[in-house]
Amino acid sequence: MRLEALSREVKINKKNKNDKYHLILEAAVKVFARQGFYQSTVAQIAREAGVADGTIYLYFKNKDDILVHFFQYKTKQVFERFRAEVNHAENSLDKLRNLIKRHLAEFQRDRDMAILYQVGTHQIDRLAEDQIREMSKMYQDLISEIVEAGQQEGSIRKDLYVGLVKRFILGGVDEVINTWLHSEREYDLVSMADPLVELFVRGIGTLGITNDE
């Protein structure tokens, strides 16, 4: 009985530790996004999380360490959702559509996270360089997988450089998110997914397109 009680206590303590860890991470995202990373303090994060300043240091070395852990945690969490959406589709174009819709939906659902991701990849990459590089590689590998499958299916041109296609798609999605974040009006970010995929697949020219009207 004592062993069972001890086991339950260990599980409870572990759960509480995990809860505090994630609570601090989520609080840090809000503070970093709204105050700016360099202007934020550990005290502000602790206040947002509802914990004592010293509690932060039980889980993280400093503010920089919180940022690194955020990218590690969110990268894995969000990428698993990306992969699940891609796996639900039966052909490459639907896989691409699902990926972009999920990408936009995740960022729309958590605006603070979106801000930190966008700022992080452009301004504070030195602090979480390895995590951001890993995140970018996983995403690009997933796009490569979709494009190469489309080339085999015949739905994507085989004469395209996959590396160029990856940059084209990433650049398009990145710009759509940035525009949404800085827009003075509110609109549905996910509604941009279908137009984006249409642009990726058809391009902007009319060459080879027959007008039946």
Question: What pLDDT score does 1 carry?
Answer: 45
Cα separations (Å) of 30 from 25, 167, 171, 186, 193? 9, 29, 25, 20, 26
In the chain, domain spans: 1-60, 62-204
Question: What pLDDT score does 118 carry?
Answer: 81
**CA 66 to CA 143: how far, in whole Å?**
29
Question: What pLDDT score does 10 carry?
Answer: 34
Question: What pLDDT score does 210 carry?
Answer: 53
Provide the whole-model pTM.
0.81
From first to last of the 213 residues of the chain, give the pLDDT tens digit.
444 443 433 343 444 457 899 999 999 999 999 998 889 999 999 999 999 999 999 999 999 899 889 888 887 888 899 999 999 999 999 999 999 999 999 999 999 989 988 876 665 556 666 777 777 888 899 999 999 999 999 999 999 999 999 999 999 999 999 999 999 999 999 999 999 999 999 887 776 555 554
- Under a CB-based contact definition with an 8 Å cutoff, are residues 160 and 201 in contact? no
Write the CATH number of the domain with boundaries 62-204.
1.10.357.10
Question: What pLDDT score does 68 carry?
Answer: 87
Q: Which CATH superfamily is domain 1-60 in?
A: Homeodomain-like (1.10.10.60)
